[in-house]
Structure 1
Amino acid sequence: MSIWRSYPKNLKVLLIAMLVNSTGMAFLWPLHTIYMTQGMGKTLSEAGFVLMLHSGAEIVGSFLGGYLYDRIRGKRTLLLAVLSSACFIFIISIGLSWPIYILMMILLGLAIGTIFPPIYALAGVVWKDGGRKSFNLIYLVLNLGVAVGTVLGGIVAQFSFQYVFWVNGFTYLVFIFIVWFALEEPDRVIEVAKVKKEPILKPKKEVRPAQQSFNSLLILCLGFMFCWVTYIQWQTSISNYMHQLGFPLSAYSALWTINGVLILLGQPLIQWLMARMKARMKWQLLSGVLFFMATFGLLSQSHSYGGFVAGMVIMTIGEILIFPAVPAIADRLAPLDRRGMYQGLVSGAANVGRTIGPLLGGLLYDGFGPLVMLFVCILICGFALICFGTYQRLQYTQNEISPVKEVNK
């Protein structure tokens, strides 16, 4: 509790709001396919097409969220995005014809995608001295909400799918209440004044031109997209692979339980080790990609359940190293008037990876088999390794943009 009290008030508000939001979203997202196939009588391919449109709208929403943050600030953007999400969820809950349902799913994806860029942009603003700690906490809370929401969502869905929609919509309303009354966003003028006082910005050689920072961000986002293309295979192709090998659904579900437990327990430990080792975030990213590559290498050589368990453990360590670090680096790269756009690009890159990953994995799996799919994942991780190893070369300074000694002030 003493650690919790040490966090800034606005960060705590942001974490509580994010926990509520991620829990509510996790009620619904695993059940979309089941609702369309069992509740609406549609085929799996039709459901997959709608989910692809939904994911594509999230990509657009990511860029929209970043744009709105830079124009109307984070609090207003969050309220607009979450209120829109709540409206679309409640409309879907009343029961719609198929064409209207597709339209609502697209609009819902647009609204949901708009939420995350201002969340991460605000995480960097409300605790300037926290460095990467803010983003690690957001990542931890997000996964805690997913773990709780998926369990509760399955229980509620046994009574009625409509209840799932209602609970999801209610969590959005709670999110709005928390942000509206408790979040105090720093004024941009004050924020600029604070940044001008930071010693790190005084030497001219430390100032990075906006174009160089933007180019570095693009390379960073490209590597992040490659990581998501491979990570998403665990939810698509690898689940089919395990079914083909004869493992029951419960065995596959247990892997995600392991994933959630490791994130909640292991993330603070791994980040503590990174701080103790004074590891720069560039090397944290590179280490994470190597863990990803080791995962797919292991799965290509092992058909036992123990191999899949070990693979999930290794992959989760890589996830902990990569996923919170990328938005933290983007925050350091971003000029004050483009922080939202930079976080929008990061969220958009993740959504692009989540959108094209299942299609690419499915084509490789169906056309060439699981072994080729796994080897191609290793190759894609190699591209991510190149991106993470070179993004920083475009900056003037050779200093790491977020050294641990700054984070621990």
Structure 2
Amino acid sequence: MPAKVWLLIIGMALNVTGSSFLWPINTIFMHEHLGKSLTIAGIVLLLNSGAGIIGNLTGGLLFDKLGGYRTIMLGVSISFTTSFLLIWFHDFWSYSILLVFMGFGMGIVFPSMYALAGTMWKEGGRKAFNRIYIAQNVGVALGAALGGLAASYSFTLSFISCSALSLLFFMIVLFGFKGIEENESGSVQTVFSQKKRIHNKQAFFALLILCGGYLLAWIGYVQWQSTIASYTQDLGVTLKMYSLLWTVNGLFIVLGQPLINVFLKKWLHSTTSQILVGYVIFIISFVIVGNAKDFSGFMIAMIVLTIGEMLVWPGVPSIAAELAPQGRAGFYQGIVNSTATGGRMLGPLFGGMIADLFNISILFQTIIGLMVLAFMLTIVYIRNRQSIRKTNPSQSAAV
């Protein structure tokens, strides 16, 4: 692996560690410290995710026009500036506005980091992207653990830590990324940059069915970062203990991958079967968390959730790659990525409104219902592909 790819990996880990100081405490800070409802907190997080989408699209366009170095410098400059201002200005309106700009800056950085990894280590294939993905999870584990610890003393300490790591990442980009080769154009593709007509409408329709379930799963998953975060506080779970849940999540993903691979090779051979089992595991995790009364219950639910996550999240992009016609892989992956981001946008607001209008128990029941619907949509997808395969054997089934 090229040395500069290692620099990307280290940079990604630092970047995500810094942001992870904040995202587990966002809802807690707005709800418990600033006294805002869960619905209001959900709207702010929706705007943060929306800004991230705009940042992703902007980052993709700028990468093609300006190159990776200048694009990443722009994104990290915005992220560092907003994180620094948060130290001094964190009343509700300042916090909300700065969080939106931070989402935009972070959104610019991510597509360029992935694109650079792919163009700098072409012979590595998927390995380059897998290493970046692992770096993200290391950042999540470290950031969540240290962020919760810092917030248990002072929220301001969390803001200072986030800003310090953003500054460190800025320095690595400024002095380490300069001169990185990124001569490949068009490596970053978004839904809006695609000009070709969709000729294989059957495959595209099948992808939309699959992504419908994917969207519902993400809406449920992000409750752990929003409404469930606040719920743990109501039950007396400290910020340190809550952050430990995400530390376990990140470490389990990194360290448990070999065990999951053995399990898949032995019992779950098709990608769709992995997704179906993953949705069932998601349902079990929400049944557990709905009955959790102390930290141990939340920890068990998180471990179960993580197993489901490891089955579902890689599975949908994999199927999208199989469904994609020649030259349309970027477009199909763009649909999948947009679906996940849409779930992250809608989830906090959706969960916050249900928790405010009804109660947390109704929310858990609703999320379980969404997971059941996601399972059913995947069944519809499987039958759709099997039907197409019978009528047109030459077409890939992707099941």
TM-score bin, normalised by smaller chain = 0.7 to 0.9
1:253-292 matches, cutoff 5 A? 253-275=243-265, 279-292=269-282
Residue aligning to 1:205:
none
Is 1:61 aligned with 2:61? no
Q: Does the 8 A contact of 1:21 with 1:172 survive in 2?
A: yes
Q: Does the 8 A contact of 2:75 with 2:105 survive in 1?
A: yes
User: Structure 1 residue 237: deviation in Å?
Assistant: 3.3
User: Structure 1 residue 117: deviation in Å?
Assistant: 3.4
User: Structure 1 residue 75: deviation in Å?
Assistant: 5.6
1:82-231 matches, cutoff 5 A? 82-93=76-87, 95=89, 102-121=96-115, 133-153=127-147, 160-161=156-157, 163-177=160-174, 180-181=177-178, 183-185=180-182, 187-188=184-185, 209=199, 215-231=205-221
1:380 to 362, 365, 370: 370
Q: Does the 8 A contact of 1:285 with 1:322 survive in 2?
A: yes
Q: Does the 8 A contact of 1:13 with 1:183 survive in 2?
A: no
Is 1:354 aligned with 2:344? yes
Is 1:43 aligned with 2:44? no
RMSD: 4.2
Q: Does the 8 A contact of 2:215 with 2:339 survive in 1?
A: yes
User: Structure 1 residue 318: deviation in Å?
Assistant: 0.8
From the superposition, tell whether residues 209 and 125 of structure 1 become closer, same or farther in structure 2 (CA, over 3 Å). Answer: farther
User: Structure 1 residue 229: deviation in Å?
Assistant: 0.9
Residue aligning to 1:397:
395
Cα separation, 2, equivalents of 1:184 and 1:398: 36
Q: Deviations over 1:40-65 (max 9, x none)?
A: x8433466654442233223333434
Q: Does the 8 A contact of 1:70 with 1:340 survive in 2?
A: no
Q: Does the 8 A contact of 1:220 with 1:387 survive in 2?
A: yes
User: Structure 1 residue 24: deviation in Å?
Assistant: 1.9
Q: Deviations over 1:238-274 (max 9, x none)?
A: 3455555565655544433432332232123213543
Greater displacement, 382-391 / 18-27: 382-391
User: Structure 1 residue 167: deviation in Å?
Assistant: 0.6
User: Structure 1 residue 365: deviation in Å?
Assistant: 3.3
Q: Which amino acid aligns with 1:321?
A: L
Cα separation, 1, equivalents of 2:297 and 2:94: 44
Q: Which amino acid aligns with 1:290?
A: V
User: Structure 1 residue 377: deviation in Å?
Assistant: 1.4
User: Structure 1 residue 353: deviation in Å?
Assistant: 1.6
Scaled by the length of structure 1, what TM-score is found? 0.72
User: Structure 1 residue 228: deviation in Å?
Assistant: 1.4
Residue aligning to 1:196:
none
User: Structure 1 residue 230: deviation in Å?
Assistant: 0.8
Cα separation, 2, equivalents of 1:65 and 1:330: 23
Q: Does the 8 A contact of 2:17 with 2:139 survive in 1?
A: yes
User: Structure 1 residue 386: deviation in Å?
Assistant: 4.0
From the superposition, tell whether residues 272 and 70 of structure 1 become closer, same or farther in structure 2 (CA, over 3 Å). Answer: farther
Q: Deviations over 1:260-312 (max 9, x none)?
A: 33223212321354356683433332222221122223445665765433322
User: Structure 1 residue 328: deviation in Å?
Assistant: 4.8
From the superposition, tell whether residues 84 and 189 of structure 1 become closer, same or farther in structure 2 (CA, over 3 Å). Answer: closer
Question: 5+ unaligned residues in a row in structure 2: which ranges?
Answer: 189-197
Residue aligning to 1:199:
none
Q: Does the 8 A contact of 1:33 with 1:44 survive in 2?
A: no
User: Structure 1 residue 314: deviation in Å?
Assistant: 1.3
Greater displacement, 52-61 / 293-302: 293-302
Greater displacement, 250-259 / 28-37: 28-37
User: Structure 1 residue 144: deviation in Å?
Assistant: 0.9
Question: 5+ unaligned residues in a row in structure 1: which ranges?
Answer: 1-6, 192-207, 402-409
User: Structure 1 residue 171: deviation in Å?
Assistant: 3.3
Q: Does the 8 A contact of 2:31 with 2:230 survive in 1?
A: no
From the superposition, tell whether residues 359 and 140 of structure 1 become closer, same or farther in structure 2 (CA, over 3 Å). Answer: same
Matched length:
377
Cα separation, 2, equivalents of 1:288 and 1:322: 5
Cα separation, 2, equivalents of 1:338 and 1:13: 30
Cα separation, 1, equivalents of 2:323 and 2:101: 31
Percent identity of paired positions between Structure 1 and Structure 2: 37
Cα separation, 2, equivalents of 1:125 and 1:17: 17
Cα separation, 2, equivalents of 1:90 and 1:186: 33
Q: Which amino acid aligns with 2:371?
A: C
